[in-house]
């Protein structure tokens, strides 16, 4: 009986969670990707933001359109915030063109949504100041969003 109890204990410990949470990829819908060319006139710092309301979305589009009508190139501007939320990432102002900020994956686990960012293109283009951005929408969630 002691041997059975010991064996059962070892087996149950082997089945315990190791802290890794399974995640699934979320289909993010592209809203807009490109560069701002206002040399900072848009007053948008390097940031990663989640937008949950039409008012915040409208304010961001107004800022982005300060010098150029950037939002005209968006795939959509009328977002149903009852069903979706926006993830918008902005890089710092760059001294030349050819830079990107890229949302390469959006995944969720039990506790959080994780947005993976990369700079897939790192410059070497024209000698104009640019500020890369990438904006997507995902299904609405109450989970906190982490950027990596």
**Does 9 score more than 90 pLDDT?**
no
- Cβ atoms of 23 and 107 within 8 Å: the answer is yes
Give 127's pLDDT tier (boundaries 50, 70, 90): confident
> Which residues are within 8 A (CB) of 11 and not within 5 positions of it... i.e. 6 or more apart?
none
pTM: 0.85
Give 12's pLDDT tier (boundaries 50, 70, 90): very low
DSSP secondary structure, 48-100, as one string? EEEE-SHHHHHHHHHHHTTTS-GGGGSS-S---TTTEEEEEEE---BSSS-B-
**Does 139 score more than 90 pLDDT?**
yes
- pLDDT for res 20: 56
pLDDT digits (tens, 9 = 90+) for 58-110: 999 999 999 999 999 999 999 999 999 999 999 999 999 999 999 999 999 99
DSSP tag of 110 = S
pLDDT digits (tens, 9 = 90+) for 14-62: 444 444 569 999 999 999 999 999 999 999 999 999 999 999 999 999 9
- Cβ atoms of 144 and 53 within 8 Å: the answer is no
Strand partners, 15: none
- pLDDT for res 121: 92
Query: Does 126 or 137 have the greater pLDDT score?
Result: 137
């Amino acid at each position: 009986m002691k041997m059975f109890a010991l064996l059962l204990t070892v087996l149950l410990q082997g089945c315990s969670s190791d802290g890794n949470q399974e995640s699934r990829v979320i289909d993010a819908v592209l809203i807009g990707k490109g560069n701002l060319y206002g040399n900072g006139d848009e007053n948008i710092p390097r940031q990663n933001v989640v937008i949950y309301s039409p008012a915040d979305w409208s304010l961001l589009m107004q800022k982005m359109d300060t010098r150029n009508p950037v939002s005209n190139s968006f795939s959509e501007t009328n977002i149903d915030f009852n069903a979706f939320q926006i993830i918008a990432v902005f890089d710092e102002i760059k001294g030349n063109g050819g830079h990107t900020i890229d949302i390469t994956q959006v995944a969720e686990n039990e506790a959080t949504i994780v947005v993976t960012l990369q700079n897939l293109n790192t410059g070497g283009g024209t000698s104009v100041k640019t500020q890369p951005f990438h904006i997507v929408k995902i299904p609405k969630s109450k989970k906190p969003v982490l950027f990596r």
